[in-house]
Amino acid sequence: MDEIPLSVLVVALFLLVILSAFFSSSETAMIALNRHRLRHLAKEGKRSAIISEKLLARPDRLIGLILLGNNLVNFIAASVATLIGIRVLGDLGVALAPILLVMVFLIFAEVMPKTFAAFKPETIAFPASYILAPLMRIAYPAVWLVNWIANGLLHKLGVNVHEQEDVPLSREELRSIVREAGSLIPKRHQRMLINILELENVNVDDIMVPRNEVDAIDLDDPINEIIDQISHCQHTRLPVYQSNIDNIIGIIHLRRVARLMSDKDELTKESIKDILIDCYFVPKGTQLHTQMMNFQRNKSRFGIVVDEYGVIQGLVTLEDILEEIVGEFTTDMQTFNLDIQNQEDGFYLIDCSVHLREINRQLKWSLPTSGPKTLNGLLLEHLEFIPESGTTLKIDNYLVEITQVSENSIKMARIKLLEESIENI
């Protein structure tokens, strides 16, 4: 060893520090890689991503290789540093060399490279994979021996490294990823993606047109009244029933009515029956994502919601479900604004038949939606009686003043948000 020049020892120590920094940064970078992005890049054919994914398929072997190389380099560096210390300071160098070596390695071979790798994992991991992959083949016997001993001891502690749990992302995690995408995904697209994730928490009861608001044709009415109803209808499809709305006999498409009236001078009840479409019934409580698939499977856009006894509860359309994803796209803005009217004193005058989800969506509020679906239902649930006009109550942070009441329901109410919740700040 005395024959080795001091300059060679110094260069060797410098190279050993670089090697140690390489192993340290590679370990941190490989572990810090985003697995979902890595899988995406590998599917796109990026070679370094493919190699990195293969290395991470067995993290115990990868960590074994990196630590084997790192410890080997560090032990050699300690010996070289001791030789340099003896050459320069004599016996005092034996005592000072470890102290100086620890400081040098701690800063330049551990903290700096690992910190950089944690912030820029792909910058380090992808180039390093080209070196680690051949090293794995060369040092495989030693790595296998080390892992065999370590994994055997872990097995005694109840840890099986061969059973890696690939946990899929939950809806909450996906929601967080979408919200944290920032400028990569426009705000409107973020809302749409989050609304799609929320479909599983919403069912047809939340968005259906309730039974008492269903616009339908009664064939027992005089034909002139039926024609007048059709001519002033704002919808393209209408349920048709006889005597009672629970006795729906089909759905009429107004386009077929127009064709029929162009072929014949007059419209009769019999001709209406001839062009009816079979009614599609939807069980109450069906989740929206399921119902959207059912509409697609049945080639339908319109369904009648029924309860377990077959009693009609309301109707739901494909457009209603799409609006839950993309928001309102109705062109009838007059109807859209009549139900919720802003007043000068900060209150909103609201028709109590409006769905709570619709109020929350338009006003960015958070009225409770876990129970009743409409504002009328929410107020009656809290009061537990039909109130008089002028009754005031407080629900969470909302002040409610009832302005119009009928015999069996609340018609209109004024509501004001008293305090902005944290969610809306």
Question: Is residue 194 included in any domain, yes or no?
Answer: no
Angle of helix 59-89 versus helix 6-32 axis, rounded to 10: 160
pLDDT given for residue 335 in this prediction:
47
Tell me, what amino acid is at 13?
A: L
186 domain residue, yes or no: no
How much of the chain, in percent, has pLDDT values that exceed 70?
Answer: 92
Which segment of 115-119, 338-342, 375-379 scores lowest on mean pLDDT? 338-342
Residue 408 CB coordination number (10 Å): 8
CA 410 vs. chain centroid, Å, equals: 36
**Res 252: pLDDT:** 92
Question: Do 390 and 304 reside in the same domain of the chain?
Answer: no
317 with 337, same domain: the answer is: no
| Beta-ladder partners of 314 | 210, 305
Q: Are 111 and 236 within one domain?
A: no
- Same domain, yes or no, for 362 and 306? no
In a domain, 172, yes or no: no
| Strand 217-218 with 237-242, pairing | parallel
Look up the pTM and report it: 0.63
pLDDT of residue 88: 78
pLDDT digits (tens, 9 = 90+) for 17-40: 999 999 999 999 999 998 888 998
Question: CA-CA distance, 326 to 67, in Å (whole number)?
Answer: 51
Percent of residues, the chain, with pLDDT higher than 90? 42
User: Looking at the structure, do residues 339 and 276 belong to the same domain, yes or no?
Assistant: no
pLDDT level of residue 423 (50, 70, 90 thresholds): very low
298, 356: one domain: no
- pLDDT recorded at residue 398: 93
Q: Is residue 302 part of a domain?
A: yes
Kindly state whether residues 317 and 340 are assigned to the same domain: no
Edge-first strand listing for the sheet containing 217-218: 217-218, 237-242, 244-253
Q: What is the DSSP letter of 388?
A: P
In whole angstroms, give the CA distance from residue 421 to residue 78: 60
Instruction: Output the pLDDT for position 424.
Output: 43
Instruction: Say yes or no: 10 and 31 in one domain.
Output: yes
**If you average pLDDT over residues 405-414, what whole number do you get?**
92
The mean per-residue pLDDT over the stretch 177-184 comes to 79
Cα distances from 251 to residues 240, 338, 377, in angstroms, run 6, 28, 29
Residue 260 has what pLDDT? 76
- Specify the pLDDT at position 364: 85
425 — pLDDT class (breaks 50, 70, 90): very low
Looking at the fold, whether 276 and 344 belong to one and the same domain comes out as: no
130-133 LR contacts (CB < 8 Å, sep 24+): 130/48, 130/51, 131/22, 132/26, 132/30, 132/55, 132/62, 132/65, 132/66, 133/51, 133/54, 133/55
Per-residue pLDDT reduced to its tens digit, 345-403:
889 999 998 888 888 888 889 898 888 888 999 999 999 999 999 999 999 899 999 99
Residues 380 and 242 in one domain: no
pLDDT digits (tens, 9 = 90+) for 144-180: 898 888 888 887 887 776 665 556 777 787 888 888 8
- Convert the pLDDT of each residue in 45-89 to its tens digit: 999 999 999 999 888 889 999 999 999 999 998 888 888 887 777
Q: Is residue 166 one of the residues assigned to a domain? A: no
Residue 422: per-residue pLDDT: 38
- Which residues have CB under 8 Å from 3's CB, separation 6+? none
Question: Looking at residue 297, what is its pLDDT?
Answer: 92
* Of the residues 121, 156, 191, the one at which a domain ends: 156
| pLDDT tens digits, one per residue of 264-285 | 567 888 888 888 999 999 999 9
| Amino acid symbol at 126 | F
> Which residues form the domain of 281?
199-321
10 Å CB burial of residue 255 (0-12, 13-18, 19+) is exposed
Say which range, 53-67, 189-203, 211-225, has the weakest mean pLDDT. 189-203
What is the structure's pLDDT at 264? 59
Model confidence at 337, in pLDDT bands (50, 70, 90)?
low
Q: What is the CATH number of the domain that holds 396?
A: 3.30.465.10
Same domain for 124 and 235, yes or no, is: no
3-state secondary structure of 170: coil
Tens of pLDDT along 233-261?
Answer: 888 899 999 988 999 999 998 888 877 77
How many domains are there within the chain?
A: 3
| Boundary residue ending a domain (321, 351, 375) | 321
In the sheet that holds 340-342, the strands lie side by side as 340-342, 348-351, 410-417, 398-405, 392-395
Domain boundary among 297, 321, 345: 321
Q: Write down the mean pLDDT value for the chain.
A: 86
How many other β-carbons are positioned within 10 Å of the β-carbon of residue 168? 6
